[in-house]
Amino acid sequence: MIKKLCLIVLVLLNISTSLAGTRNPYVSDEKHLMYGKDFIYVGKLCGVDQNGDKFCASAVAIDDHNILTAAHVVNKSRSCFVYFEGKKYCICNIVVHKDFNPAEFGIADIAIGYSEESFGLNFYPDLYKDDDEIDKICCIAGYGFYGTFRSGAIYHDGQKRGGSNRIDSIEKDILVCSPSTLGDKKRTTLEFLIASGDSGGGLFIDNKLAGINSCIMAIDRAPSSKYNEESGHTRISTFVPWIIKYKK
């Protein structure tokens, strides 16, 4: 059971470009930048909310016209668009899961959106449908702040980064990951934790979309993706029927 305070903090407000995750301090940032380029189906999601404030986060294309993102990113959006490979697409017909409640952590933090114009990508990830995620090695990508597990996420440059981790547990349909310490057998080569701006990006198992980046959990109410913090990712396998129902 998660004992840490859970905070959804991964959407960036009042900026024009999205600002991705923290890493093992002994691994160069360049490796995560290079790895991030493999995730052509993870895009930069931006828009304006009902108060007129700009926001930026991340999204995942699941076919030529549909994206998935975190519900807390678009729940109050007035307009929304996504960039894939430098091209801008307008997102309309956004559907937020009916059970999403910003006051309740870990409940249905997922939304789907539609683009009339085809993204035209050469690959889209299948949805992960199995219930065996615990202890699986996963890949994570998004457009967020970056830094190390020591410094926290303190820099931004608008670039996509990717990395890996291992699923520690599942809580309230949230896949939970954490940074490992030196010598820990669970450590992965490009260990990575999401940060602000990564909301709506993806967590992948065997090239399938298994999670949507949702939150960072921290005891001190100031999550920055450091050691002793955890990331939460909305569990796709729970929501496959809902996704199929609402995608166009």
What local confidence, expressed as pLDDT, does residue 187 receive?
81
Assess whether 59 and 22 both reside in one domain.
no
Residues 33 and 136 both lie in one domain: yes
C-alpha pair distances (Å), 153 with each of 76, 138, 170: 25, 20, 24
Report the pLDDT averaged over residues 6-16. 41
Residue 50 is encoded by which pair of tokens?
A: 């009902």
Q: Left, alpha or beta for 91 (phi > 0: left; psi -120 to 50: alpha)?
A: beta
pLDDT over 50 at 12, yes or no: no
- Beta-strand runs (E) in 62-201: 66-69, 77-84, 87-90, 92-96, 111-114, 137-142, 146-148, 152-155, 161-166, 169-171, 174-177, 192-193
pLDDT tier at 182 (50, 70, 90 boundaries)? low
Residues 152 and 83 in one domain: no
Structure tokens at 40: 């052509």
Q: State the pLDDT at residue 15.
A: 29
Residue 19 pLDDT > 80 = no
* Mean pLDDT rounded to a whole number for the chain: 89
Please check whether residues 33 and 146 belong to one and the same domain. yes
What tens digit of pLDDT does each residue of 37-70 get? 999 999 999 999 999 999 999 999 999 999 999 9
Name the residue range of residue 193's domain: 6-10+18-38+126-237
Q: Are residues 130 and 195 in the same domain?
A: yes
Contact 244, 237 (CB under 8 A): no
Local confidence band at 183 (pLDDT 50, 70, 90 cut-offs):
low
Angle at 160 between CA 13 and CA 51, to 5 degrees: 15
Q: Is 1 within a domain?
A: no
Distance in angstroms (rounded) separating the CA atoms of residues 48 and 54: 4
SS3 71: helix
Residue 64 lies in a domain: yes
Helix ranges (H only) for 14-149 are 29-36, 71-74
User: Is the per-residue pLDDT at 191 higher than 50?
Assistant: yes
- Pick the range with the lowest mean pLDDT from 10-14, 110-114, 200-204: 10-14
CATH number of 142's domain: 2.40.10.10
Lowest mean pLDDT among 48-52, 84-88, 180-184: 180-184
Within this chain, do residues 173 and 111 fall inside the same structural domain, yes or no? no
pTM of the predicted model as reported, rounded to 2 decimal places: 0.91
Q: What is the average pLDDT across 94-111? A: 92
- Give the tens place of pLDDT for each residue, 147-179: 999 999 999 888 999 999 999 999 989 999 999
133 & 205 share domain: yes
pLDDT in tens, 116-159: 999 999 999 999 999 999 999 999 999 999 999 999 999 988 89
* Host H or E run for residue 99: none
* Number of domains observed in the structure of the chain: 2
Residues 28 and 47 in one domain: no
**How does residue 223 score in pLDDT terms, banded at 50, 70 and 90?**
confident
Tokens linked to 111: 């939304």
Tally Cβ neighbours within 10 Å of residue 246. Answer: 17
Q: Is the pLDDT of residue 16 over 50?
A: no
- Regarding whether 169 and 150 lie in a shared domain, the answer is yes
